[in-house]
Every structure is written in structure tokens, then in C-alpha cells.
Chains A and B, each alone.
Chain A
Amino acid sequence: MVPERRRPPEASSKSSSSMMSESPRNLKPGLPFIPFDSTNLWCGDGHGRSFLEFSPPLVTQSNGLFGPDRETKSKNQHEPSPVMDWNPRLMLSNLSFLEQKIHQVQDIVRSIISREDQFLDQANELAAQQQLVTADLTYIIIQLISTAGTLLPDIKNALLSTNPAVGRPGSNQKQHEIVPVEVAKASQHDSLIKDLNSCGGKEDGLIKCSNNSGVEASEPIPIEDPDTKDNDDGMDGENLPPGSYEVLQLEEEEILAPHTHFCLICGKGFKRDANLRMHMRGHGDEYKSPAALAKPSKEASIEPQPIRRYSCPFVGCKRNKEHKKFQPLKTMLCVKNHYKRSHCDKSYTCSRCKTKKFSIIADLKTHEKHCGRDKWICSCGTTFSRKDKLFGHVALFQGHAPAIPMDDAKVLVTSDKAQVSEASSGMPGNTTGYNFSGNTSLDAQTPDIKGVDDGHGCFSPMILDACNIWGLTEFPHSAYEVSESTFSFLATGSCNSIQRNGEN
């Protein structure tokens, strides 16, 4: 659904100017393709039409709603045959557009062939051209199918009008946001569209599409509407038996698409269907009716929804349906977050720590709230961002205590100092200073600290901080060359100690 809307503008804007001359109308995103499927496919229900109300006059009217600015002339043509829902002229214009498009692709391929040798050293340009071709081809296929798809509802409508019982919701197993069609055809149609979606812009997807077409037919196109995910949230999908739910796998482009709902008139994209509906009001009074503004899924949910789960398109991922222990994702939002987190570049870097990276901006914001707040430190060196976590840790381990970030080392040093003083007072003759020469770790640390001692026992917090937090009671004294540095310490250290004795 989405890629169809999204692709054309991209493709055309990329390839546009130099390659082909299109009518400006075609450059307008999304516009030319609206008439047929998509309106019926996903907006039809959006206008609150229940299946029971579904009647030919309404159809024409609502059909008209979807492209009011587009075709005033086609509207006129509609009138004579209200039952006939598809417009031959429109079909013709679409086909001719397709033709044009095919030519355009042909041109590109030709140009590739002609400049093949040049591309040898410009691999990336070639890749870009290839991508363009792929995109265009995908686009053409989608158009083709959707053009053909317009025929389907008409048959359906014809059937409905003759035998309304067929189309009753009760008899329709596939109760979803698609305009009710005759069951078999609807599912066919769906599967076509779906497979197209799933192949997205990838080349191998094209093959897959043809292979899978009938197999996964049961899956309707999801409406990537956060509103619908509410339904999912209600269910506990965690221990669902493998067969009890449908698996839907969206492609990368679809997952990463910034907007999933597009205005059929101006092409503006929205993240939420509700926002789109609000937006639509600006396009005319017909969008302001309560029916048009109503939430589409409400009526659909009268019928039990098939349980739907999502698969990650990344093969080998546990969330991919091919995986042995496949764990499906619950909602579209989960898919998006999972895919971005697991399989995308982490482009958002935390501005504080400069190390943590995130692919989702919300994750970054969450992290930034707590980044650098690991202020709760245990005496064992473990840091915590929350006080209660630290206290839980302290309660758990014998002898651990919260560290006071700067001061713990000071206490430690003071007690060391006390020991030194005690020792010295035990040696009555030794008043001229402490004998550092034969000492080990204690001196290596103490004199160093005395170096920054301002004579009042007030130590620089920075050094001690480091000492304490990282548990450097075993100060790296190996770094000190005993020969020279201890003597230099001796000078300052003894000096200080004399001062201190005097004070005392």
C-alpha cells in the first residue's frame, strides 16, 4: 500500500528532468493512480460505509469523493452509467501512462548499456541507475495490477446489486479495511497487492512475489495505523501456537517509511490515519461528514479480527518467520522499533558521553535523561544510576558501603596519616620526620597526597576522588622510581610533618 504511494514521487523526482518529459500532473505525487484501487482499498471503509449500506448510488458518490479535483470531466462521464464503476477513459490514460513509463525505463536501460564502459569506474552510479530501474519496474507492476484491480470491484458491485446477500458481512470471512469484494477475488486481489508490497524495491522480491502470490493469500494489507495496533495490544500474543495467527512481513522501505498515510489529493504524508482524516477536511465539505471523520476500524472490529503478527524482513533474525524459534512481533510499532534497533545504523549519538549510539531518537532521549548520572557509587567501585539500586547492592553484600564520591578517600588517608603519627609517636627519638625510604604502598601514596596538602589537612578532592572510586588503595606505586621520587617526597613530606607536629 504504502510503497505505491511513496515510490512514484521519489522515482519520478529522481529520474525526472533529464530523462523524460512528463506532464506536470504526473509529477504530482500519487495523483494519477488514485482512481482505481486505492480509494476502494483503504479509504473506502475509512469513510464509514458499512457493507450493508453499500449501494450503487453511494458508490458513485463516494467514488467521486476520492478525486474531486482530479476529474471533473470523468465525473461527468460517470453519470450516465452509475452502475459501471470503472472508467474506460481513465483506464486508457493509465495504460498510456504505463506505456510512457515503460519507455522511460527502456531509455534508462539503453543509456546504461551505452555507457557500460564508463560505469566500470563509477560503480556507485551504476548501482544508482540499477536501483532506479528496479524502482520503476516495481512501480509499473503495481500500476498494472491496480489498474486491473479496478475491474474487480465492479464485478463485485454488480453481484451485490443483484444478490446483496453474498456481500453480507456475516458471510464474509475477510473482514477488514478493504472494500468488500467477493471473497475469492478479494483475497486474490489482496495477495497480489500484498506480494507487491512485500517485494518492495528489491529485485529478489520480484521473484518472490511471483512465487508466493497464491500462498500467503490470506493476508490483507495492513493499515499502518497506530489505531489498529490498539486491537493487537489487547491480545496476548506471546504464546500463540504457530498456526493460530497470520504472519505479515513488511519490507524495509515500508518499515522505514516516515509516513504511512497519504492524502489522495495533495499527496501529503501522515503518520496517523486520524491526522490524515483531519487533513482531508480541508479538501472539501464532503470530508467533514461524521461518517468521513469516523475511525475506520471501529466497524470492522465488529467481526473477530484474525490474530495478526509481524515478521522482521531480516533473514536470520529471530523475529524473521524463517527462524526456527520464530518470535513474531506484536504490532507494527514493534516492527519499526525492532528493525531500527537491530538492523539499522545507530545514527544518534549521545551528546554527553559521546559513546552511546541509538537508532531511535526516543531511545537517545531516554538515555540522555540518565547519562552521566551514575553518581551512586559503592565502595567496591560499582556505580549505579539510582540510589535504591545502590542501597539494594549494599544490603546484599557484606562490608560494602556507599562511597561518598569525593571524601571517602580523604577519610582513608587521614586514618593512614593517623597511623603514621601513631607510629612516629611510638618512636620517641624520631621527631625530624618520617622515614620514607623503606616504605611501601603507604608512603607512595601518602607523600604524594601531602604534595597537594595545603598544610591544613585539606586535600585536593580530585586526586583522592580517583584514588577512592577506583579502589586504588593499592596505588600504582610501581610507577614511582624508589631512587629519586621517594627522596623528593622525603623533602616535602618531612617538611610537612614537622609543620604538623608544630601545629599539634
Chain B
Amino acid sequence: MKRAHQQHRHQPSDAILAALSVDLLIQILERVDDPRDRKAWRLVCRDFLRAEALHRRALRVLRLEALPGLLRHYAACLDLLDLSACPGLGDHALAAALFAEAGSWRLKSVSLSRASGVGWRGLAALAAACPRLESVDLSHCVGVGDREAAALAAAEGLRMLRLDKCLRVTDVGLAKLAVGCPALENLRIKWCLEISDIGIELLAKKCRDLRVLDISYLKITNSSVKSISSLGKLEVLSMVGCSNIDDEGLQFLSDGSNSLRSIDVSRCDNVTASGLTSVIEGHICLQKLNVGDCFPELAPLFLSKLNGLKDSLTVLILDGFQVSASSLKIIGVNCKNLSEIGLGKCKWVTDEGISELVAGCVNLISIDLTCCHMLTDKALMAIGEQCKKLVCLRLESCNLITHRGLEHIGTGCPSLEEIDLTDCPVTDTAMKYLSRCSELMILKLGLCDKISSEGLVHIASNCKNLYELDLYRCIEVTDDGLAAIATGCSKLQKFNLCYCTQITDRGMKHLSCLEDLRDLELRGLHHVTSLGVTSIAIGCRRLTELDLKRCNLVDNVGLCALAQYTGNLRQINISYCPVSSMGLYKLLGTLKCLQDVKLVHLTHVPVERLELALRAYGGQLKKLKLFIGLRDLLSPWLIQMLQARRCRIRWVDKPLVFSP
């Protein structure tokens, strides 16, 4: 692509269009996947830019100030608009942006997740401007209530709606939606705590096409399950943590009048094996079954009923159960097609059990063995021998496993993408074996204090796709390890280096090569100075989250560099850093995307300066962490203003202690 870019730069654009029509340009563009290449494409010339605009279907807006221009450019062809990174987006801005291109919108999907500034006016404008709207995501907009739901109900064609944690939506709002959007197929109202049985009943009567329904954590009772059971097309039902629902409620699902494929009843305290048995009886095509943390013991009846699902069941989550080896054997024998099993916190799982399981379920893709303390290398050996397709393996806190076990994983599971070894006594040798898994994307090595740079060199040598690396408190890791990672794993996006105390500025310099880095945690790196932070800021322009807590040498210079280069920074933690008011001014005055700022114990910043800096901030703060002693020192006016702008202040009550 870059070559094309070079090639065309010096020619007049007419000539390009003569040679390559817009159709052809678009066809070429379809083959360009990497966003960086796309960016290069856009920079070639106006025609290329126009072609890209015609081709683009999805848009994620990172900075609010760019919104009007972006929409003007892309409005015509856009299907998906993601505004979730714009918490400062208000009703007026949204309505204005939509009206500007009124009539030409083809938008089908809009994500306003966490865009807490949008209220009913904005949503009403959205519903009016986009007649083809099918999908809206309002999750985690805690301020969304009945009015917003009513405004959204004007979008008749709505088929998918996420309202997770829209705390103020009540039965009335739900009824508005149910009446206004009868075509709803996918509705998630997790954590909408105000919704009760009455609302669910009406929903089930009005929205007969519902296929996916998430009612987790609602205070609903069995009668809701009864209404839900009448939904003939229902396929996926999530009801995590509905403690008012018991076996009697699940009985309503036993007649199989709906085409349920997936049910999640985890954390439903009052559900027992008999209720689940009735669900299984009614739905022989059940594919996913999540019963984690429901009842402690696996009843034989339940296990025998699993036999009825043997062909269909692919996902079985049994977190927190007392699963004996014989139970696992039965599962292994019955559920041959199982692709995912969750045994997290099943403390009594033994090597024998795992061997029995994997002997039967050879198609397992994902195995969760978090906190199965009794497991040893034998279990890993069995997994490595049997599960050739394994993609995800979670072994957090399996204290008895060693590099010998991981050797089998490394050789037996070539397609492994994710492994969690947090708090496992693994060594660099284990990393050597793991590095054979060239597809590895997520590697968690937190608290593995025997891992040194040598291990990282092994990983970097073969795992090019590594996307997330967690080295929390891997105190042996040095700058050399980072150098290897920075060169070997160029796609790294999340990196946790907290308390890897040997890291210095040199390591930071290496890290600055990682252009894709989004989330970097450098907590407690007391050898890292502003120089290191500056190199990070210059190199990693896409950084959105940065943790510099207790980096005792990072001062104003580092903050100024961050302010200057990392314009997309959304979260920053500079607690305990020796920054002064100048750095804070610069940081808060320049960065417009900051949402979450932690400013605990900034001993070099006087209270009045802190207040001034906070007042000067022009963006939309959502969370602010401050020392509790400041509560009375900051002016009430400021606190009031912040809270009025939907900023939640968390007051920390920790005394100032300088860590060694």
C-alpha cells in the first residue's frame, strides 16, 4: 500500500481516475485491511479520500471536535457510527451533527455506550434523522431513563438494543420501547434494576420476535420467566444473578415452546439441579449452559440429563462446583462436542478428572481451570495430548504446575491464543516451551516472579501476534526483555509492567517502538523518569490508558510530553508523582479526551492550583480520584460543578506513605 501511496503522490488526480475508476479504487480498498494502510490511502489524494468515504461503512469517533467534519464527510454511506469514546457528546452536538446531513442518513447501528452526555433530545433527534436505525447501544449510560427510552421508541425498526446499566429505566420506559419497537430481536437490559415483572410481561406480549434477551441482575421473579417462556423465537436467555428466580420459574421453560439454544443462570442462588434438569428436558438442542455459582454440588440426575444434550451442547460452565473425577468422566463420555468448559474455582478438580474429561472431549477449544489448586503437570499433559484445537487455557493460581506441564501444552496445542498463568510458579523454561505457540495473543504472567528477560526473549522470538502481555510484579524482568518484546511483538496493545522495578528509561525507549500500544501500566517503576515517559508519549501515539502511579521520578516534563503527543489519552493515573501545578495545567488544559483522572497525593501541587487546573479542564471528566483531605479544601462550587457535569469523585482515604 505504501508503495501505491508513493507512486500516486506526484501525479495529478485526474490521471488516476482515468486509469482507475472509483469502482476499481473501492475494490482495491476492500483488500486493504490494516487501518494504518487505510490512513495512508486517505492521504494519497482527494479522489482516494472520496473513494474511501464511499467505501466506509463504519466509523468510530475518537475525538468529539472531529465529529462534525467526519460526519459531513462520511454521512452518506455510513452504516455504523460508534460514539462510545465521546462522553462529552451532548444532545445539541449530536442533534446538530445529525441535522447537518439530514435526509441522507443510512445509519443502521449507533453505539452510544458510555456516552453519558446524550439525553432524550439527542435520542429523539437520532430516531427522527435515521429512519433505518436497527441497532442502538446505550449500555452504561447510567443517566438514561424512561424519557430516553421513550425517545428511542420512535425508531420503529429497532431490532437490537443494549440498555445495560441504564439505571433509571423503569417498566414504563421498557413498555414504551416494547410498544414502539415491536420488531426488537435482541434486547439487553442487564442491571436495569428498576424493571420488574410487569414490564417483562408486557415486553413478552409486545415483542414476539425476541431472540436474545439479557435480564441479568434484575429483581424479577418466576412470573417473568413464565412470560418469557411464551417467546417462541427466543434463543439466548441470560439471567445472571436473578436470585428471586428458582426451580419453579425454570419449570416454565421445560415445555420447550421456545427455541432456546443458550441459557445462563449463573449466580442464581435459588436455582438447583432439578430446575436445570427441567430446562434441559425441554430443550434438547441446548448449546450453551452456564450454571456457574448456582448450587455447590452436581447432582447425578443433572449429569445424566446432560446425556440428552450430547450432540448439541458445546459450552458448559460449572464455575464454583464441587466436581468430582467421576462427574467429569460422565461429562467427557456424554458431551463429545463440548468446545468450552468452565471449571473456575472448582477446587476439588483433580488430574484424574481432567484426564477423564479431555479423553472424551477432544474438541475442547477453551478450558478454564482458574483456582483449581490441586492440578499438577499431569492434567496439562492430558490436555496437551488430547486437545489439539485448544485456543484458550486459564490456569491462574494453579500452584503446582511447572514448565514440564507447559511443555506438553506448547507441543500439543499449536493454536493456543490465550493462556493465563497468573500466580503460577513458572520459569523461563516454561516460556521457551510456550513460545512454540506462535498464535499466542494473550499472555498473563502476573506474579510469576521467576520470569526474567530470558523468558521474554523466547516469547518475542516466535509470538508475533501477541496483543496483551501482563507482567505484573515480574520483578526479574529488565530492559533487555522489553527490548525483545518491542521488536518481536509489534502488535502489542495492552502491556502491564507494574512493579517490574528493574525497568529504566532504556526500557521505555524500547517500548516506544510499539505504535499500537493503547493501555500501558507502569505503576511503581521508580527508575523511570520523565525522559522515559516522553519517549513513550512520542512513540505510542495511540495510548488511551496510562498508569504512572508511584513513578517517583516522573515530573512535569513527562506530563508535558504526554499532553503534547498522546491526544487520545482517556485514563491517566499520576497519583504520588512529583508533578507540580505546571504539569497538571498542561495535562488538563491540552488533553480533551480525558475521562478518568487519578490525582491522589500530588504533594507538589497546592490546593488552589489543583482547583484551578480542574476548573480549566474543558473536556468531560467522568471519574476523578482525589485524596479525602481535599474534600473540605476544594471549593464546594468546584465539586458541585464537577458533579453537575456527571463527574463522579472518589475520595481516597489512604495516608501518604512513600514506598521504598
Residue B473 is within 8 A (CB to CB) of chain A in the complex:
no
**Bound CA–CA A143/B546 (angstroms):** 103
Residue A411 is within 8 A (CB to CB) of chain B in the complex:
yes
Cβ distance A41 to chain B, nearest Cβ, rounded Å: 57
Residue B398 is within 8 A (CB to CB) of chain A in the complex:
no
Query: Given A404, A422, A456, which contacts B103 in the complex, CB threshold below 8 Å?
Result: A422
**Bound CA–CA A417/B497 (angstroms):** 53
Contact check, A391 vs B92: say whether CB atoms are below 8 A apart: no
**Bound CA–CA A415/B199 (angstroms):** 26
Residue B463 is within 8 A (CB to CB) of chain A in the complex:
no
Chain B proximity mask over A340-359: 1 for CB below 8 Å, otherwise 0: 00000000000000000000
**Bound CA–CA A457/B125 (angstroms):** 12
**Bound CA–CA A400/B175 (angstroms):** 10
Contact check, B102 vs A421: say whether CB atoms are below 8 A apart: yes
A404 — which chain B residues lie within 8 A by C-beta? 146-147, 150, 172-173, 176
Cβ distance B59 to chain A, nearest Cβ, rounded Å: 20
Residue A395 is within 8 A (CB to CB) of chain B in the complex:
yes
Residue B630 is within 8 A (CB to CB) of chain A in the complex:
no
Query: Given B99, B151, B176, B179, which contacts A504 in the complex, CB threshold below 8 Å?
Result: B99
Residue B96 is within 8 A (CB to CB) of chain A in the complex:
yes
Residue A24 is within 8 A (CB to CB) of chain B in the complex:
no
Residue B120 is within 8 A (CB to CB) of chain A in the complex:
yes
Query: Given A402, A411, A421, A503, which contacts B124 in the complex, CB threshold below 8 Å?
Result: A411
Considering only residues 103-133 of chain B, those with a C-beta below 8 Å from chain A are: 103, 120-121, 124-125, 127-129
**Bound CA–CA A482/B150 (angstroms):** 33
A387 — which chain B residues lie within 8 A by C-beta? 171, 198
Residue B16 is within 8 A (CB to CB) of chain A in the complex:
no
Query: Given A388, A408, A418, which contacts B150 in the complex, CB threshold below 8 Å?
Result: A408
Cβ distance A285 to chain B, nearest Cβ, rounded Å: 58
Q: Given A401-B175, A402-B176, A422-B103, decide whether A395 and B150 contact each other with a Cβ distance below 8 A.
A: no
Query: Given B96, B99, B120, B171, which contacts A391 in the complex, CB threshold below 8 Å?
Result: B171
Considering only residues 70-104 of chain B, those with a C-beta below 8 Å from chain A are: 91-92, 95-96, 99-100, 102-103
Residue A5 is within 8 A (CB to CB) of chain B in the complex:
no
Contact check, A503 vs B198: say whether CB atoms are below 8 A apart: no
Q: Given A395-B206, A401-B179, decide whether A411 and B147 contact each other with a Cβ distance below 8 A.
A: yes
Considering only residues 387-407 of chain A, those with a C-beta below 8 Å from chain B are: 387-388, 391, 394-395, 399-402, 404, 407
Residue B138 is within 8 A (CB to CB) of chain A in the complex:
no
Provide the main secondary structure of the chain A interface.
Answer: helix
Contact check, A391 vs B202: say whether CB atoms are below 8 A apart: yes
Contact check, A411 vs B199: say whether CB atoms are below 8 A apart: no
Chain A proximity mask over B133-151: 1 for CB below 8 Å, otherwise 0: 0000000000000110011
Contact check, B125 vs A418: say whether CB atoms are below 8 A apart: yes
Residue B615 is within 8 A (CB to CB) of chain A in the complex:
no
B101 to chain A: closest residue by CB: A425
Residue A440 is within 8 A (CB to CB) of chain B in the complex:
no
Contact check, A411 vs B172: say whether CB atoms are below 8 A apart: no
**Bound CA–CA A419/B129 (angstroms):** 9
Contact check, A395 vs B202: say whether CB atoms are below 8 A apart: yes
**Bound CA–CA A418/B95 (angstroms):** 9
Contact check, B124 vs A414: say whether CB atoms are below 8 A apart: yes
Query: Given B125, B172, B179, which contacts A399 in the complex, CB threshold below 8 Å?
Result: B179
Q: Number of contacting residues on A, CB 8 A?
A: 26
B172 to chain A: closest residue by CB: A402
Q: Given A404-B176, A407-B120, A408-B150, decide whether A394 and B202 contact each other with a Cβ distance below 8 A.
A: yes
Contact check, B128 vs A419: say whether CB atoms are below 8 A apart: yes
Residue B154 is within 8 A (CB to CB) of chain A in the complex:
yes
Residue B60 is within 8 A (CB to CB) of chain A in the complex:
no
Cβ distance B452 to chain A, nearest Cβ, rounded Å: 59
Cβ distance B564 to chain A, nearest Cβ, rounded Å: 32
B98 to chain A: closest residue by CB: A418
Cβ distance B608 to chain A, nearest Cβ, rounded Å: 32
A402 — which chain B residues lie within 8 A by C-beta? 171-172, 175-176
Residue A426 is within 8 A (CB to CB) of chain B in the complex:
yes
**Bound CA–CA A391/B206 (angstroms):** 11
**Bound CA–CA A426/B179 (angstroms):** 31
Residue B180 is within 8 A (CB to CB) of chain A in the complex:
yes
Residue B205 is within 8 A (CB to CB) of chain A in the complex:
yes
**Bound CA–CA A457/B127 (angstroms):** 17
A422 — which chain B residues lie within 8 A by C-beta? 99, 102-103, 128-129
Contact check, A407 vs B150: say whether CB atoms are below 8 A apart: yes
A425 — which chain B residues lie within 8 A by C-beta? 99, 102-103
Contact check, A407 vs B175: say whether CB atoms are below 8 A apart: no
B100 — which chain A residues lie within 8 A by C-beta? 504
Contact check, B99 vs A421: say whether CB atoms are below 8 A apart: yes
B500 — which chain A residues lie within 8 A by C-beta? none
Contact check, A418 vs B202: say whether CB atoms are below 8 A apart: no
Q: Given A414-B125, A421-B102, decide whether A395 and B205 contact each other with a Cβ distance below 8 A.
A: yes
Contact check, A411 vs B154: say whether CB atoms are below 8 A apart: yes
**Bound CA–CA A394/B127 (angstroms):** 23
**Bound CA–CA A231/B21 (angstroms):** 98
A388 — which chain B residues lie within 8 A by C-beta? 198
A456 — which chain B residues lie within 8 A by C-beta? 92
Residue B201 is within 8 A (CB to CB) of chain A in the complex:
yes
B125 — which chain A residues lie within 8 A by C-beta? 414, 418
Q: Given A395-B202, A401-B180, decide whether A414 and B121 contact each other with a Cβ distance below 8 A.
A: yes
A423 to chain B: closest residue by CB: B102
Known: A404-B172, A414-B151, A457-B92. 10 other contacts (CB 8 A): A391-B201, A394-B179, A400-B179, A401-B153, A401-B180, A411-B150, A414-B124, A419-B128, A421-B102, A504-B96
List, sorted by A's number, 6 A–B pairs whose CB atoms are closer than 8 Å.
A387-B171, A394-B202, A401-B180, A402-B176, A404-B172, A415-B128
